[in-house]
Structure 1
Amino acid sequence: MEKGGQQVNENGHDLYRNIGNDYQEDVVEDHLGDEGYSDAHTDPEDEDYVPGRKQSKAPVKHKRLPPHLVQELITAYEQCTHPDANTRQEIAARLDLHPKQVKIWFQNRRSQMPKKAQVKENKEIQQDNASLQSENQSLRQAMMTQSCITCGSKTLPSDPLSEKQRLLIENGRLKDEYLRATAAHSKTIHTSALAGPAPPLIIGSGADREALRRHADASMEQFLVLATKGEPVWIPTTDGDMLDNNYGATMSSFLFGLRPKGFAVEATRDTAMVWGTAADLVGILMDTTRWSEMFPGIVASVTAGDFVSTGIFASCDRQIQLMNAKLWVQSPRVSNRTVNILRFSKLVDEKQWAVMDVSVDGVLGQEEVSPSRYMGCRLLPSGCVIEDMNNGYCKVTWIVHAEYDETTLPMMFKPLFRAGQALGARRWLASLQRQREYAAALLSSRDPVNNNTAETGILKLAQHMMATFYTSVSGPFIQTQATSNTSEWVGSIGTGIERCDATVRMVTLKKTSTVAGESDTLFLCATTTLWLRGILPESVFSYLRNEQLRAEWDVLANGAPVELLRYIATGYPVGNAVSVLRSNYTDGTNNKILILQETCTDSSGSLVVFAPIGEESMYAAMNSGDNTSLSFLTSGFAILPDGRGNARHDLATAPSTSRAPACSSNTGGSLLTMAYQVMLPSSPDNAVDEMGKFICHVVEKIKIAVKAEIMLPV
């Protein structure tokens, strides 16, 4: 029966009184000097059961171990729950115990742990049940007395609204949501009819130019304050700095007015050393083409507009230009972020430059913004301060301060954006560092002393491959003539706790043949994103880049370890490299297939991208360096942190404070996006289903390898 929420026996004693403590597991039977002991392991259910052993009726002495020995045994148990005889002998010798005492303590510990967990779970369920019953009782009482649950006062009866009044209220609510809903809808169904033309980047009258110049000057002033201030404007965290909530809200209202409903704030800062001179970096950032090439994993596309100011003496100093950019994250579940900005470069000091971006939405007085010009993000003063260190490197401080429409994000991606790890300062700066190191490796291969044409050809080939991967894995596919069909496949493999589910976006691409008489070629691009709870991105990256384990998940490995033919390091840390691998796989014509692979990793995430390439095509590219005629069936993995278990995530919703909260003890997980491209046969009836099952198979292998208990589709 129950008494006071606890289960008791007929004498009123708590049934779980002794289960929740450590008394039973700290007590061992004392058999020192009793060599004829034969009571242990007579139960056939015991994992150490010895057949034929008879139970003794002799009384057994019990001995409670002192606390320091118990702590030593617990430490040993955490390392191994089932020690063998040699291990038990070592523990006994170290703790001055008999091996049988150690053995019995481990048996007691193993038997008590499930009981403790069950008791804890029962207590939690009882507490939840009591809370729900209390809430239910309060609701019933409020319904009976017609009173307010919060204050207890009587509620007034409301007159039923007429249909016309109800429609007017609903219409007012919908007007407030109209722009955001229209934009989200256009991103979901990928139709050009709702997308509308891009915002104009042409400056009209002289008054407009002057308004933009004033906006740029005011924004640069605010940006330099952000770049130079410390606490309490910036709050230190484990992943850089985060802007104080009150200061950010004041700046936002000063430049753009009130924040739109449903918009969240992203404000992060980070500093690092980057290879190159200040003039080199400023030149890259002020050239739209080179800027997009420097950040291929972030910048999807960019359109250059008119110059507000061309700079002083043909330099980049005080150069102001309109731009429209689309930013992406490596997942098909996240829509591209569009920003309409002014880019302003300024020589702050003799060897210090500032390059600042700020949104121009509403600056020229467009009060009524059409749905086609709706922006799901507005950029407050953001950018970088570059200080030349005179040693071949620059100190770069990067700031991202943005307000974005959080309602368009999938639930699993919201912590990633709130933590600033999706499009925050750390990702921009890490990408800049990695790309500059890649450029240094490419420059070294072109050195006349080295004259390594083959290495140059491989690196350029890898750049071409990576560009196709970013296009296939990031953002939505826009319906074009080359895209014949887009669908979603949902399936699973396995049963029970071993079951692996996947939701896969299937896009059929058509490539028109340029040779007369040849039919068009169909390709299938399959992408999916999964959440691995509690598994760090480093663990997933380490497994996927291991050549010896590649046969577990890669069909190109043909069931055997691959051979590493070429390895070109492209940066620090280890893992940033371009490789050429050889497998036993052939294309059916005895033409050997090589695997071109690029792996890259930094604090913002990791990539493992690969593509099959014929041996002859590879050698041709290595000799000539020309890869323009090659087409790739690129596949790979994008591994991002999930934004959980992070000080930034806790700080994003915390009240303003001068100190950052302590890091969460929860281990962060990973967001794994995989993409595969294959050529379809002439009759692709079952191709989509087969590809979906293949991806489920790969998911299952990864889940087992990284020991992920939970792996859910996003």
Structure 2
Amino acid sequence: MDNEGNQQRSNNEDVLHSLLGPEDQMNIDSANVDDDNDDVYIPEPEAPSKRPKRHAAEQIQELKAAYKQCDHPDEKARRALGAKIGLEARQVRFWFQNQRAQMQAKAQVQDTKAVQQEHAALMAENASLRHAMLTMSCVACSGGTAPAEPSPEKRRLLAENARLRDEHMRATALLHKILLEAEAPPPSGRPVPAASTHSMLSAAVEGRGALLRHAEASMDQFLMLATKGEPLWVLTPDGEVLNCQVYQKRTFPVLLGTCPDGFVREATREAGVVRGAAAHLVGILTDANRWSETFPGVVAGATAGNVVNVGVFAPHNGLIQLMNANLWVQSPRLRNRSVNFLRYSKLTAEGHWAVMDVSVDAILGLEGSRKVDLNVDSDVMQAWHKGCRLLPSGCLVEDMGNGYCKVTWVVHAEYDETTVPTMFKPLFRSGKAHGAQRWLASLQRQCEYLSALHSSHVPRSSHNTGTISPMGRRGIMELAQRMMASFYSAVSGPVTQPSSSIDEWHGSNGTGAERIAAAVRMVTWKKAGSMDGEPAGLVLSSSTTVWLPNTPPQLVFEYLCNGQCRGEWDTFANGAAVEELGSVATGHLDGNAVSVLCPNVTDGINSKMLILQEARTDASCSIVVYAPVEEERMRAVMNGGDHASVDFLLPSGFAVLPDGHGKARRHAPCTSEAPVGDGNTAGALLTVACQALLPGSPSGDHTARAFDDVGRLLCRAIKKIKAAVKAKIVVASLM
């Protein structure tokens, strides 16, 4: 079995490289050396008797002319230019590196002079205004001025002064509280030195001030990213891309330092209309629990730490808090992304809100030897540097006054690409894994879901015996929410159940061109018995991801939602179609619904079971999840009974993601790399998951046989999907 798995892994890697094309392979292979390194070249010291020769005037003239045409020539262009002027390609390369460094230095000097001149002008204007205010004289004619109503600017300054006085009073009270706690004897009874008390107090005050300054500077950068157009954002046929050079010039010095080695930058922006009021959405975003519940397919979990600054004048206005979030993508092959950040919400105008996130690792001193203790909860500070840095990101929320609001979402981050498997790199590079499109689409879909949850309108089914009552509508949807949360955790979450184990199964189904191979993650854990008499058992959770090149994700989703074809891949349907007893539409897009299905089977076991299914789809992801439920309990929930009566669900299903080879959204190229996915047609990344309860306590041999049965079951389902959507090839994902 190991030899077969190794052979299959080798075959898949060959197929993967052949499908990605030469441009994608260039992005994947880490062995390639970047010839366009902007570091200044310093020649190797030679013997004292040999001095380096200067280039001839004609050579320099040709080099400068070529530099005006292109300041980053590739290897082929460097060789051609060197042959033309009598230089080696490496000499041409070093000259271009030095020339770029000189131009950057000159640009920095000019920018510094411009900033100094602007600063001097502002200082002079400020001094003149201060003098005019003190002498109550006119700046233009130096004559006296009569008392008048305060100007709007003066009223704004007075309001700002009142806010600062209020903040000063609260800060004073906080310091007084800290001093009282520091003077109290420690639990051990040993006195704390006065010098240590003052140093702790000083560090806390200094750390809070640093976070406030960091939040304000980051908010300015975020508002620039969210509101500015060209040349900061360049419009391309694939959408908006961030111009890195313009961004870095406008944000110099860099807020979070240089990009770490091995990290890749992603920058995306998306705008759309969302159901709900702006203040309500801001309330969701500033509550860690509600925020996590609103984005179940994106946020694995979130915790809130200390509040750095409380809001004033309006709820949430000026609120700054430390937060930690774990983000996931629905596949067992991907690591979750952990990020620690400040969330700053600000009322920028009447009905206009800005909610900004930015990483705080460096600000809290976690990258150096000095660390600031802000009494942050241990759960928030548990994981730093998990391969992601969040640059100023977030959303603008503008009330439209008709029950809707306009939301502009910006994601600007740097992540460690070395932790991303090869097959998924185009997905992340395109911004469709954690980009703005996915956040906004998830928010729109969830707001529509909540609207359907609280609506009193219930579409009636053609079968009166299965119609969902108005009271049962809410119960069915809440039961579906529990099922979806369990599915997300089974596919992408860490294994936290006691007495659990993780194994890898490699196998296949079919022969020749019809052979489907897969590497399946097998997780087993013990389920305790319930109070309703359900026995204990061993739960087997299996999942795998495959790539269907040149196969649109929507085509796969439509096939999975076709009840007439369900018997082709669902063994529970026993090879037949399924009947829909009732459904609740959860969005305006076709396919978003929670349904109760009845398999057309006649045996005495399956006839007692119904299928609860939820289908979700948007531009970023499609999900089809289902779980068997006893008919008696399901009908009770449909008639308004408590959904808690269904206390145990084992959901199975599919997650269909774009493979990133369609329209790619990324920042404007800072290097000579070609965008990922050029020349490729959009395909689908299909994750298949199956959960089952193994009776009793199987031995090792029984567990191995169960692995084989479930693994081949997943392979058969993938084979049926491949045939139905007419996919030419299926590539299995590897660890």
TM-score range for the pair, normalised by the shorter chain length: 0.5 to 0.7
- Residue 641 of structure 1 is matched in structure 2 by 658
Picking from 542, 548, 551, the partner of 2:564 is 548
Asked if structure 2 preserves the Cα contact closer than 8 Å seen for 1:237 and 1:648, the reply is: no
- Residue 284 of structure 2 is matched in structure 1 by 284
| Pairs within 5 Å for 1:254-293 | 254-293=254-293
Picking from 677, 683, 694, the partner of 2:691 is 677
- Residue 711 of structure 2 is matched in structure 1 by 692
Q: Structure 1 residue 429 and structure 2 residue 443: aligned?
A: no
RMSD of equivalent CA atoms: 3.0
1:561, distance to aligned residue in structure 2 (A): 0.7
- Residue 311 of structure 2 is matched in structure 1 by 311
Which amino acid in the other structure matches residue 697 of structure 1?
Answer: R
Asked if structure 2 preserves the Cα contact closer than 8 Å seen for 1:252 and 1:258, the reply is: no
| Pairs within 5 Å for 1:547-586 | 547-585=563-601
Determine the C-alpha separation between the residues in 1 that align with 2:203 and 2:454.
43
1:247, distance to aligned residue in structure 2 (A): 3.6
- Residue 499 of structure 1 is matched in structure 2 by 515
Asked if structure 2 preserves the Cα contact closer than 8 Å seen for 1:500 and 1:699, the reply is: yes
1:454, distance to aligned residue in structure 2 (A): 1.6
Name the CA shift for 1:481/1:585 in 2 (closer, same or farther; >3 Å): farther
Which amino acid in the other structure matches residue 490 of structure 1?
Answer: H
- Residue 469 of structure 1 is matched in structure 2 by 487
1:647, distance to aligned residue in structure 2 (A): 3.8
- Residue 220 of structure 2 is matched in structure 1 by 221
Asked if structure 1 preserves the Cα contact closer than 8 Å seen for 2:305 and 2:323, the reply is: yes
Q: Structure 1 residue 596 and structure 2 residue 615: aligned?
A: no
Name the CA shift for 1:237/1:626 in 2 (closer, same or farther; >3 Å): farther
- Residue 540 of structure 2 is matched in structure 1 by 524
Which amino acid in the other structure matches residue 409 of structure 1?
Answer: V
Picking from 525, 528, 536, the partner of 1:509 is 525
1:292 match: secondary structure: helix
| Pairs within 5 Å for 1:17-32 | none
Asked if structure 2 preserves the Cα contact closer than 8 Å seen for 1:551 and 1:560, the reply is: yes
Superposed CA deviations along residues 416-454 of structure 1, whole A, max 9, x for unmatched, are 11110000000000000000000110110389xx98112
Which amino acid in the other structure matches residue 470 of structure 1?
Answer: Y
Determine the C-alpha separation between the residues in 1 that align with 2:401 and 2:296.
28
Which amino acid in the other structure matches residue 233 of structure 1?
Answer: L
Name the CA shift for 1:399/1:372 in 2 (closer, same or farther; >3 Å): closer
Asked if structure 2 preserves the Cα contact closer than 8 Å seen for 1:339 and 1:359, the reply is: yes
Asked if structure 2 preserves the Cα contact closer than 8 Å seen for 1:253 and 1:259, the reply is: no
1:624, distance to aligned residue in structure 2 (A): 3.9
Name the CA shift for 1:551/1:379 in 2 (closer, same or farther; >3 Å): same
Asked if structure 1 preserves the Cα contact closer than 8 Å seen for 2:473 and 2:640, the reply is: no
Percent of paired sites with the same residue:
55
Superposed CA deviations along residues 83-106 of structure 1, whole A, max 9, x for unmatched, are xxxxxxxxxxxxxxxxxxxxxxxx
Asked if structure 2 preserves the Cα contact closer than 8 Å seen for 1:532 and 1:669, the reply is: yes
Which amino acid in the other structure matches residue 232 of structure 1?
Answer: P
Q: Structure 1 residue 409 and structure 2 residue 426: aligned?
A: no
- Residue 329 of structure 2 is matched in structure 1 by 329
2:643 match: secondary structure: coil
- Residue 621 of structure 1 is matched in structure 2 by 637
Determine the C-alpha separation between the residues in 2 that align with 1:654 and 1:205.
39
Name the CA shift for 1:656/1:441 in 2 (closer, same or farther; >3 Å): farther
Name the CA shift for 1:525/1:238 in 2 (closer, same or farther; >3 Å): farther
Name the CA shift for 1:227/1:593 in 2 (closer, same or farther; >3 Å): same
Aligned residue pair count: 513
Name the CA shift for 1:316/1:656 in 2 (closer, same or farther; >3 Å): farther
Determine the C-alpha separation between the residues in 2 that align with 1:587 and 1:349.
65
Asked if structure 1 preserves the Cα contact closer than 8 Å seen for 2:244 and 2:669, the reply is: no
Name the CA shift for 1:518/1:605 in 2 (closer, same or farther; >3 Å): closer
1:557, distance to aligned residue in structure 2 (A): 1.1
Asked if structure 1 preserves the Cα contact closer than 8 Å seen for 2:430 and 2:676, the reply is: no
Superposed CA deviations along residues 169-225 of structure 1, whole A, max 9, x for unmatched, are xxxxxxxxxxxxxxxxxxxxxxxxxxxxxxxxx997121111111100000011111
Q: Unaligned stretches of 5+ in structure 1?
A: 1-147, 154-201
Taking structure 1 as the reference length, the TM-score comes to 0.68
1:258, distance to aligned residue in structure 2 (A): 1.0
1:235, distance to aligned residue in structure 2 (A): 1.9
Determine the C-alpha separation between the residues in 1 that align with 2:476 and 2:531.
28
- Residue 731 of structure 2 is matched in structure 1 by 712
Determine the C-alpha separation between the residues in 2 that align with 1:425 and 1:590.
43
| Pairs within 5 Å for 1:185-264 | 205-238=204-237, 240-249=239-248, 251=251, 254-264=254-264
1:252, distance to aligned residue in structure 2 (A): 8.6
Determine the C-alpha separation between the residues in 2 that align with 1:561 and 1:276.
39
- Residue 680 of structure 2 is matched in structure 1 by 666
- Residue 452 of structure 1 is matched in structure 2 by 470
Q: Relative CO higher for 1 or 2, CA cutoff 8 Å, sep ≥ 6?
A: 2
Determine the C-alpha separation between the residues in 2 that align with 1:151 and 1:654.
21
- Residue 119 of structure 1 is matched in structure 2 by none
Which amino acid in the other structure matches residue 555 of structure 2?
Answer: S
- Residue 350 of structure 1 is matched in structure 2 by 350
1:656, distance to aligned residue in structure 2 (A): 9.1
Name the CA shift for 1:316/1:563 in 2 (closer, same or farther; >3 Å): same
Name the CA shift for 1:695/1:518 in 2 (closer, same or farther; >3 Å): closer
Which amino acid in the other structure matches residue 668 of structure 1?
Answer: A
1:427 match: secondary structure: helix
Name the CA shift for 1:326/1:427 in 2 (closer, same or farther; >3 Å): same
1:382, distance to aligned residue in structure 2 (A): 0.5
| Pairs within 5 Å for 1:65-84 | none
- Residue 488 of structure 1 is matched in structure 2 by 504
Asked if structure 2 preserves the Cα contact closer than 8 Å seen for 1:482 and 1:511, the reply is: no
Name the CA shift for 1:410/1:314 in 2 (closer, same or farther; >3 Å): same
Q: Unaligned stretches of 5+ in structure 2?
A: 1-86, 93-200, 372-381, 459-467
1:330, distance to aligned residue in structure 2 (A): 0.4
1:444 match: secondary structure: coil
1:367, distance to aligned residue in structure 2 (A): 3.3
2:455 match: secondary structure: helix
Superposed CA deviations along residues 340-363 of structure 1, whole A, max 9, x for unmatched, are 000000000011000000000110
Asked if structure 2 preserves the Cα contact closer than 8 Å seen for 1:246 and 1:656, the reply is: no
- Residue 170 of structure 2 is matched in structure 1 by none
Superposed CA deviations along residues 127-161 of structure 1, whole A, max 9, x for unmatched, are xxxxxxxxxxxxxxxxxxxxx996699xxxxxxxx
Which amino acid in the other structure matches residue 633 of structure 1?
Answer: L
Asked if structure 2 preserves the Cα contact closer than 8 Å seen for 1:537 and 1:670, the reply is: yes
Name the CA shift for 1:519/1:598 in 2 (closer, same or farther; >3 Å): closer
Asked if structure 2 preserves the Cα contact closer than 8 Å seen for 1:353 and 1:387, the reply is: yes
Name the CA shift for 1:350/1:361 in 2 (closer, same or farther; >3 Å): same
Determine the C-alpha separation between the residues in 2 that align with 1:662 and 1:307.
40
Name the CA shift for 1:249/1:262 in 2 (closer, same or farther; >3 Å): farther
Which amino acid in the other structure matches residue 695 of structure 2?
Answer: P
1:588, distance to aligned residue in structure 2 (A): 5.5
Name the CA shift for 1:615/1:517 in 2 (closer, same or farther; >3 Å): closer
Asked if structure 1 preserves the Cα contact closer than 8 Å seen for 2:361 and 2:367, the reply is: no
Which amino acid in the other structure matches residue 728 of structure 2?
Answer: E
Determine the C-alpha separation between the residues in 2 that align with 1:292 and 1:588.
42
1:233, distance to aligned residue in structure 2 (A): 0.6
Asked if structure 1 preserves the Cα contact closer than 8 Å seen for 2:245 and 2:670, the reply is: no
Name the CA shift for 1:669/1:515 in 2 (closer, same or farther; >3 Å): same
Name the CA shift for 1:240/1:515 in 2 (closer, same or farther; >3 Å): same
- Residue 442 of structure 1 is matched in structure 2 by 453
Asked if structure 1 preserves the Cα contact closer than 8 Å seen for 2:325 and 2:338, the reply is: yes
1:493, distance to aligned residue in structure 2 (A): 1.2
Name the CA shift for 1:150/1:495 in 2 (closer, same or farther; >3 Å): farther
Determine the C-alpha separation between the residues in 2 that align with 1:280 and 1:240.
29
Q: Structure 1 residue 385 and structure 2 residue 396: aligned?
A: yes
Asked if structure 1 preserves the Cα contact closer than 8 Å seen for 2:660 and 2:677, the reply is: no
